[in-house]
Structure formats: C-alpha cells, structure tokens
Amino acid sequence: MRLVKTLGCFSIAMLAAISSALAQQPADATEQEIERYRAMISDPMANPAFLNVDRGEALWGQARGSKAVSLQGCDLGEGPGTLEGAYAKLPRYFKDADRVQDLEQRLLWCMETVQGLDTKDVVKRRFSGPGVVSDMEDLVAFIANKSTGMKFAVSIAHPKEQEMFSVGEAMFYRRSAIMDFSCATCHGEDGKRIRLQGLPNLSKAGKPAQETMGSWPTYRVSQSQMRTMQHRLWDCYRQMRMPIPDYASDGITALTLYLTKQAEGGALLVPSIKR
C-alpha cells in the first residue's frame, strides 16, 4: 500500500513538473511539444476508431426493424446506398424529409422510415461509454471514413439551408447561461488557449476551421472512445453550463452547417485520433 501511495505521489509530482516546464516555455515551443505528442498517437494502425468503422460497416448492411431491411436503401444525398463523398456534403437539404439534416439526423430518419426501426434504444446509446456500444458512433465512423481524403463542399443554395446557416451563425455568437459564454468566446479570435490546448479560430473560413472540422469523428485517447461532432458540441454546451441540447436537434445541425461551411475546401482525414 505504501509503495502504491509513493508511486501515486511520484506520478502527480512528475505531471506537475511537466506542466510547470511547459507553462514556462514560449507559446510556440509549447505548441511544438503538443504537436510531437499528436504525431506519436497519429498512426492509423494504432487508432482504435477503426474498430468502430468495422462495426459500422456491419450495421449498415444488417437487416433490422419491422421491414427487415438494411440501411443500404438509405439516401445520404448521393443516391441510395452511395456513401463515397456523402459525409463531405452534410448537413444538406433532403426533399423527402423537407428538412436540412446532418448525418445523425438522416440516419435516424432512415432507420425509422426505411427500416421501420424503433430508435429509442439507438438514441439512448447515442454516446458510448464503459459497457455501452453506440450504433450511431459506429455508423458515423464508417460513413465518414468513406469521405476521407475528400474536401468539404456543403451547400447553402436551398432557402432552408440558408436559414439553417444563419441560425448556426447566430448560435455561434450567442452568449448565454450563467457564464455568459458563446462558442465565439473560445473560438472567435486567433491565439487563444485553454490550459495547454490551442483553440482554433472558427469565426472565419480557413485552415483552423478546415483542420478542426476535417478531423471529426475522432478517437479521444483521454476518453477511450470514438466521438462524433454531435458529442463535441454537446460537450461544449455542457462545459459552458448551458442547457444540454437534444441529440440530433435542428440547433446542433444548424451550428454544424455553419462550422462546416467555414471549413469549405478542407480535406477530411477521419476517423482521426486526439488526446
């Protein structure tokens, strides 16, 4: 027991020393060390999210629901069953649903209408955790991976897409809740940082937005789980102490459309791996 306590104290002391050393370095040197860490974990062959990709592929072809059919009849915008490039153009307007939908919204719609599946359990398991496997995370990993290497090209040509983009932009800047935060509080200027983590400026189109949006979905080493943009935005609202948004809500889709438009022209490299 004494040895365990000693090792624990030693580990805490080491972490404190490393943090202190990094804090005393110039900002560019700190970023270099963080980039070195990212490079160490970036090998795709060591990325556990590809297990999600494999499970998602099996789910895509599995017959389920009252209609006993697979999701291969689901149209993600490029035609029923066509996945290549579909994720790079989402969110988008779908005439059959008469809504702008992101990938998770569209998958739930297809599960209910194409498969006749009761999605209550799917939504309950929307985010994975210890002993909980998420169908949605697996499907997103599989489908997004079919667009890896392709460039974002979302449309705001349809009036409903224009409306959603405007709503998403307003949400990005809207300050609210007890901390009076907005997305722009952290992501509205260059050079911001939280602890040792650099914060990309997502208020303007360009490289920071491209690299950020192009790396989701991702495997989070710190959480030992694969995460989607739905989870990232959910967690941001939680950290801002705002009311938690409903899963696959129009608000999250609007914000995703705005952020994805900011990343236009950037390439997807997914699933990625992050700290």
What distance in Å separates the CA atoms of residue 191 and residue 199, rounded to the nearest whole number? 7
Angle at which helix 103-113 crosses helix 135-145, to 10 degrees, equals 110
Mapped onto helix, strand or coil, the DSSP state of residue 176 is strand
Q: Which of 110, 183, 186, 236 is flagged as catalytic?
A: 236
Query: Which parts of 62-135 are beta strand (E)?
Result: 92-94, 99-101
110 catalytic per annotation? no
Amino acid in position 262: Q
Helices (H), the chain: 2-24, 27-40, 49-60, 103-113, 120-124, 135-145, 159-173, 183-187, 207-213, 229-239, 250-262
Indicate which residues carry an active-site annotation.
236
